[in-house]
Chain A
C-alpha cells in the first residue's frame, strides 16, 4: 500500500511529507511506548501512535520509520513538526482512534512486526 492510499483510507491529513506519498508500506507498529517501538519495530514500518512529542520523530529517525500516523485527531507541536521536516519524516494525522486505525490497515493487508532481538548475540 502506498502512503497516499493509507491517507485516503484513514481520511488523514498530511502535515509533513507531501512529496513522499508514493512510499510503499508493508508493515506497521502501533504503540505509545517509544522503547517498545525501539525494541520491535522494523525499518520501513508505519508508526501509529497517540504521542505527539518530538521524541516520536527522533525515535522514527533512529529506526528508519517510513511515516508516522498520529491518531485520535492529535496534532503535534510546531517544534515536533519542525523536527519532522528537518529529518524528512512524513507525519499524518487521522481522527480515528488507534484501534480503528490499526484495524482498517490490517484489513487492507498491512502486517504487524515483531522483531525481538535475541539476547544471545554476544561475542563468542
Chain B
C-alpha cells in the first residue's frame, strides 16, 4: 500500500548529492530514541541551511525515528542533501502498516500504553511528517516493513555546504 503528497515520481535522484549518509536506528527500544535526529539536526545546522528548513527536517526525522523505535525491529534513516532539497528516508524492518489510509488519519493510533506514557502514540506522527514535508510518500508491506520518504525544499538563497 502507499500514500503520498506532492511529487509522485522520483525526479530528485538526478540532483547531485552534496551530502549523503545512512544512520542505523535500533528498533523496539527508546534508549537512544532521538539520537539520530539530534545528529542530523546538528549536521544540517552546520550547512548554513535556513533555520526553518533545519527545524522541519529535524522534526520529520524525529517523528520517523520514534516510529521505528516504537514499532519496528530495526531500521535506518538516510539523509541526502542536494543544492535544492533535503531528503530524508526512514526505512524499517518490522510489522508494516495494515491500512495506510487509516494510519494517516489524525488521532488514529495502534500505540501501546508504554508508548503513550512517553507522550507519543496520539495518532499525530504521520500527520506531522506529512504536514511538515513538501513531498511525502509512504509505502508499507505487512510483515516486512515501512518506507517513508520526506523531501523539504531548501530556500533559494542556500549557497551550498
Q: Do chains A and B touch in the complex (CB under 8 A)?
A: yes
In the assembled complex, the CB of A123 is this many whole angstroms from the nearest CB of chain B, namely 4
User: Are A122 and B6 in contact, with the CB atoms below 8 A?
Assistant: yes
CB pair B134–A35 under 8 Å, yes or no, is no
Q: For the complex, count residues of A whose C-beta is within 8 A of B.
A: 28
In the assembled complex, how far is the CB of residue B12 from the closest CB belonging to chain A, in whole angstroms? 11
Q: Does B119 contact A (CB under 8 A)?
A: yes
User: Is the Cβ of B118 less than 8 Å from the Cβ of A53?
Assistant: yes
Pick the residue among B66, B125, B131 that contacts A119 (CB under 8 A). B131
**A61 engages B41 (CB within 8 Å):** yes
How would you classify the secondary structure of chain B's contact residues: helix, strand, loop or mixed?
A: helix
Interface size on B, residues (CB 8 A): 31
> In the complex, A63 Cα to B127 Cα: how many Å?
17
Contacts of B5 in A (CB 8 A): 122
Query: Given A34-B118, A36-B124, is A58 in contact with B34 using a C-beta cutoff of 8 Å?
Result: yes
Residue of A nearest to B8 (CB): A123
Instruction: Write out the residue numbers on chain A whose beta carbons fall within 8 Å of the beta carbon of B62.
Output: 38, 58-59, 62
**9 nearest A-B residue pairs (beta carbon):** A58-B34, A35-B124, A34-B119, A122-B6, A123-B6, A62-B58, A117-B131, A62-B62, A33-B122
- Given the contacts A35-B125, A117-B132, A123 and B120 also touching, CB distance less than 8 Å: no
Q: Inside 8 A of A25's CB, which chain B residues have their CB? A: none
Are A58 and B38 in contact, CB atoms less than 8 angstroms apart?
yes
Interface residues of A (CB under 8 A from B): 32-36, 38-39, 43, 49, 51, 53-56, 58-59, 61-64, 87, 116-119, 121-123
Does B48 sit within 8 A of A, measured CB to CB?
no
Interface presence of B51 (CB below 8 A): yes
B63 touches A55 (CB 8 A): no
Contacting A55 at CB < 8 Å: which of B34, B122, B130, B153? B34
Known: A35-B128, A38-B59, A39-B124. A122 touches B134 (CB 8 A): yes
- Which of B37, B51, B63, B135 is within 8 Å of A43, CB to CB? B51
* Cα(A58)–Cα(B55), bound, Å: 13
Interface readout for B118-161 with A: 1 if CB under 8 Å, 0 if not?
11101011011011101100000000000000000100000000
Q: How far is the CA of A56 from the CA of B66 in the complex (A)?
A: 12
Do the beta carbons of B55 and A43 come within 8 Å of each other? yes
Q: A63 to B34: give the CA distance in the assembly, Å.
A: 12
Please state if A39 and B131 are interface contacts (CB–CB under 8 Å).
yes
Which B-chain residue is minimally distant from A49 (CB atoms)? B119
Distance, CA A121 to CA B6, complexed state (A): 9
